Amino acid sequence: MSQQATFSAASASEPEQTTGRYLITFREDDVAKGLGAIEKRAAVAGLPSAADFADSAIDMEQVAKAGGAVFPTLGIALVTLDPDALNSLMAAQAEDGDGAILDIEPERMFYAIGESGSLSGDYLEGYRDAVDNLYQKAMAVAAEERLGAMATFADDALSTWGLKATRAIHSSRTGSAMKVAVLDTGMDLQHPDFRGRRIVTKSFVSGEAVQDGHGHGTHCIGTACGYKDAGGRRYGIAWKAAIYAGKVLSNAGSGSSAGIIAGMEWAINSGCQVISMSLGNTTSTPSTAYETVGRRALQKKCLIVAAAGNHRSTGTVGQPANSPSIMAVGAVDNGLRLASFSCGSGPASGANVDLVAPGVAVYSSTKLPTRYASWNGTSMATPHVAGVAALWAQMSAANRGAALWQVLTSRAVRLPLSTSDVGSGLVQSPVP
Amino acid sequence: MNEDLLDAVIVTIDDQHLESIQTVADALTLAGMKVSGVLPTVGIISGSVARAAISTLKTVRGVAAVELDQEMRAIGSPRQQ
C-alpha cells in the first residue's frame, strides 16, 4: 500500500526520540550510594528529590531547571549527562558489577493518547470515537509502512544486517569479562579473526578433536563472539567475551545427548553466563533431562538458548528448545518477516518460541579455506541471542539466569507477527 | 529381541538425590546399566542398558526419569543462492 498516513507517528524506522537525559535505576535500597556514584563519576549533584515535595509530586519546572531529579521510592534518578559523563558512569557500572547502579538508559519520548483536563465527558467521548475511527483506518497503513520501512536491513561494508537489527552495533558493551559457551561442531582454531582471543575448548565427541570439520560451529561462534572480517565488516556481537567452544556435534553435524549434556555440565561448571545451542531434533514433547538441566543451569546463573528448529513444514519447536527452562529462538529475515522454515510454538507447556533473531542470510565466519559464508537457520538466530545476552550480562551482575531471560524478553521489539511464531519479538542489545 | 542390544539412555536424578548422585549411579549399575557419565552439577547420568531393563532403572531410588538418548543435529546450512 502506498497511501501515506496523514499524521506523524513515531515508528521503529525513525531514530528513537530521546531527551538527552538518562534514567538511572539503582539497585534496591542503594539510592544514596548510587547518587554518590553519580556525583563522583559524572559530577552531578543537588538534584531535586520527589521526597521533598508534597505527596511526592515533583515540580517538573524544577526538574527542567536542575536537569534531572531523584525518585527515591522508585529507586530511579533522571540525570542530564554529556557523553563524557555517560561514558564515565557506564565504565563505573561495568567495573563494579554489583555496585549501586543497576541500569542506565536514555529517557525516551512518550506521546499522550489523549489528555483529560477541563474538557467535558461528551467532548472526550466524541473525540475518542473520532480517534478510534482514525486509528483503525491508519493502523492498517501504519503496520505496513512500519514493516516496509524496517525491511531495509542489509549487509554493508561496516556490519551485517543482523547486527543492525539487533542494535548490537549501537551498543557500547562488548561482552568483556563474560564467558559464552557455544556447544556445536567445534571451532576452526586456525581462523585468523579469532587470533588473540581467549578460547577454551573441549571435545565431547569421541575420536574427534575440537577443530571444526563441518563449519557450523565456527559460524555460530562468529555471530555470538566474533568481531570483524578481513575487510572490516563486523559480524560478531560479544567480541570481547571469552569463547568456550564445546564440541558436542561431530564433523558430520550430529551428536548424542550424552555428549551434549556433558558439554552443558562443563559450561556451567566453567562459569559461563550463556550457553548457545544451535542444535535439536524434531520431537515436539519436551525431554525431562533437558528441562531439568535448563532449570538447574538457571539456578547456577547460566542461561541456555537453543534453536527452535527449521522443520516448520512438519512440526513445532523440537528438543531441547521446547524445554520451559531453555529459551527457544526462532528466525526472521532482513525484512523482519518470519523465516519460512522457523518452527512455531508447540502445544506442550513451555514449548513456545521465546524470541526471534536474524536467521536468514547470516554472514559470519566459517571453517577455512572458505573463511566467511552466509547461512540460514534458527541455528544462526540462536547465537545472535547468546551474544546479545552476554552484552546484557556484562552490564550488570544482576542480569544472570532467570533475570537475564527476563531482560531479554522484556527489551525485545514486538513484531506484527503471531506471538506463537515470534514470542516476545526481536532480541535487542543494550544501548548505549 | 536381541538381549545384547543396548540402548543409550539419559537418566535424570531428582532434586533430593543430587548430593548423592554417585550412590544413585551405583544402584543403576546394580540394576543392569552400564554407566558412562556422571554429571553432578546438572544431575544427569548417561550410559546404556538392555531395553528390557529400562523399566527397572525407573524404580531406582533418586531417579526422576529414564529417557532414550536422543540424537541432535546442527540446524543451519549454507544459504542456497
The residues spanned by each domain of chain A are 18-108, 161-422
Task: Based on the residue annotation, tell me whether A191 is a catalytic residue of this protein.
Answer: no
Higher-pLDDT residue of A87 and A377 is A377
- Sheet containing strand A362-365, edge to edge, reads A362-365, A372-377, B76-78
Architecture of the domain spanning B6-68: 2-Layer Sandwich (3.30)
Cβ–Cβ below 8 Å for A256 and B76: no
Helices (H) and strands (E) in chain B, counts: 2, 6
Q: For position A109, what pLDDT does the model report?
A: 63
Q: What is the chain A residue with the closest CA to B36? A: A258
The band of A83, judged by pLDDT with boundaries at 50, 70 and 90, is: confident
Q: Is the pLDDT of residue A18 over 60?
A: yes
A13 is catalytic: no
Residue A286 in contact with partner chain B when CB distance is under 8 A:
no
ipTM: 0.93
Please state the rounded mean pLDDT for residues A242-251. Answer: 98
| A183 neighbors A232 (Cβ within 8 angstroms) | no
pLDDT for residue A6 is more than 50: no
pLDDT range class, residue A129, cuts 50, 70, 90 = low
pLDDT digits (tens, 9 = 90+) for A248-258: 999 999 999 99
Instruction: Report, as an integer, the average pLDDT of A302-325.
Output: 97
Q: Is the pLDDT confidence value at A111 over 70?
A: no
Does B73 contact A280 at a Cβ distance shorter than 8 Å? Answer: yes
Rounded to 5°, angle at Cα A87 from A83 and A88: 120
**Predicted TM-score (pTM) of this structure:** 0.75
Q: Is B1 on the interface with A (CB under 8 A)?
A: no
The residue-averaged pLDDT of A262-266 equals 98
pLDDT digits (tens, 9 = 90+) for A157-178: 999 999 999 999 999 999 999 9
DSSP string covering A52-121: GSGGG---HHHHHHHTEEEETTTTEEEEE--HHHHHHHHHHHHH-TTSSEEEEEEEEP---S---SS--H
Examine the residue annotation and report whether A184 is marked as an active-site residue of this protein.
Answer: yes
- CATH top class, domain A161-422: alpha beta
pLDDT at B68 (0 to 100): 97
Residue A131 vs residue A163, higher pLDDT? A163
The alpha carbon of residue A204 is apart from the nearest alpha carbon of chain B, in Å, by 11
- Give B2→chain A minimum CA distance, Å: 22
Searching chain B, which residue's CA lies closest to the CA of residue A279?
Answer: B74
Q: CA nearest A287 in B: which residue?
A: B67
Over chain A, what is the mean pLDDT?
88
pLDDT interval class at A35 (50, 70, 90)? confident
Q: Residue A316 above 70 pLDDT?
A: yes
| pLDDT surpassing 70 at residue A144 | no
Domain spans, chain B? 6-68
